[in-house]
């Protein structure tokens, strides 16, 4: 995977801080100066990463953009299948295959599971990947939390499993996940309620968002909004199961297990690619 991804994410992360600190939108020259870059170089970095100009990308990163997304590109999950959107939690030509582990197997804490793990670069900084022979079961972003903390976080989901370092076995699925081409296989390992929530997330198309209350309604538990939000936050396969597309009903971003700057970057990345 292109090692420049981590650099591009680092620039974007600094841009978020600069944009948030500014009382008004920043001109290209001002934003570039705050990051000690020339305007031309700064524009090249952003255009290479996401395909749009820094001025346009700044609009996607703005704190109010999530509310605009909710007004304009909210997916009502009850109608997703009618619109032909079901299962399009992906970009471009990525095909997702997934299967869920049985509740009984989940209840053992992963006993008998062989889980391979590896560290990779991604458009959103360092990422930790984990997978069984059936597919990826974990994808955690480490830009805000650190690689070791992300590894321990995912390992704790399945404390009885056996873990081994084997990035080569996972590389094709990880490459597909971030290139948007090919096939990525997933194995959903979680409690039955959580798996229903993750299945609902898979119905939210790239560039669109939904709400925690919509998710709760979709799985037949309209009063369980808080429980649905908790299950969204516990999603172990971030990006591919797009928990970053779930917002509060008010349009606020809500939380994100791997850090809100990563969530904002993902939403901005998808919005820009969708209009690019």
Residue 114's H or E segment, with its range, is: strand 114-120
Locus of tokens 């209350």? 213
Cα–Cα distance, 128 to 16 (Å, whole number):
23
116 touches 269 (CB < 8 A): no
Token duo for residue 60: 């996607």
Cα–Cα distance, 275 to 267 (Å, whole number):
12
Give me the active site residues, please.
Answer: 243
Nearest to 130 by CA among 89, 175, 160, 163: 163
CA distances (Å), 41 to each of 4, 33, 163, in order? 14, 11, 42
Within the chain, residue ranges assigned H as helices are: 4-21, 28-34, 39-50, 54-61, 65-72, 77-80, 103-107, 147-155, 167-179, 192-201, 212-218, 225-233, 260-275
**CA dihedral (60, 62, 67, 68) positive or negative:** negative
């Amino acid at each position: 995977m292109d090692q420049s991804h981590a650099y591009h994410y680092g620039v974007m992360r600094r841009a978020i801080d600069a944009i948030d600190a500014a009382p008004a939108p920043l001109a290209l020259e001002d934003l570039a100066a705050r990051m000690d870059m020339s305007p031309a170089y700064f524009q090249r970095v952003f255009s290479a990463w996401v395909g749009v100009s820094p001025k346009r990308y700044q609009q996607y990163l703005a704190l109010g953009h999530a509310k605009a997304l909710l007004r304009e590109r909210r997916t009502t999950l009850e109608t997703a299948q009618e619109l032909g959107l079901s299962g399009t939690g992906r970009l471009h030509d990525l095909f997702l295959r997934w299967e869920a582990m049985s509740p009984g197997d989940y209840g053992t804490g992963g006993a008998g599971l062989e889980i391979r793990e590896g560290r990779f670069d991604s458009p959103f900084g360092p990422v930790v990947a984990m997978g069984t022979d059936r597919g990826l079961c974990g994808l955690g972003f480490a830009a805000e939390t650190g690689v070791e903390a992300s590894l321990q976080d995912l390992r704790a989901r399945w404390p009885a499993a056996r873990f081994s370092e084997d990035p080569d076995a996972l590389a094709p699925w990880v490459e597909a996940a971030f290139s948007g081409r090919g096939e990525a296989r997933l194995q959903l390992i979680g409690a039955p309620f959580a798996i229903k929530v993750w299945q609902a997330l898979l119905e939210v198309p790239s560039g669109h968002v939904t709400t925690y209350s919509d998710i709760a309604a979709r799985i037949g538990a309209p009063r369980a909004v808080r429980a649905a939000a908790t299950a969204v936050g516990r999603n172990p396969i971030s990006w591919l199961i797009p928990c970053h597309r779930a917002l509060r009903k008010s349009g606020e971003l809500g939380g994100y297990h791997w850090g809100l700057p990563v969530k904002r970057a993902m939403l901005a990345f998808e919005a820009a690619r969708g209009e690019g």
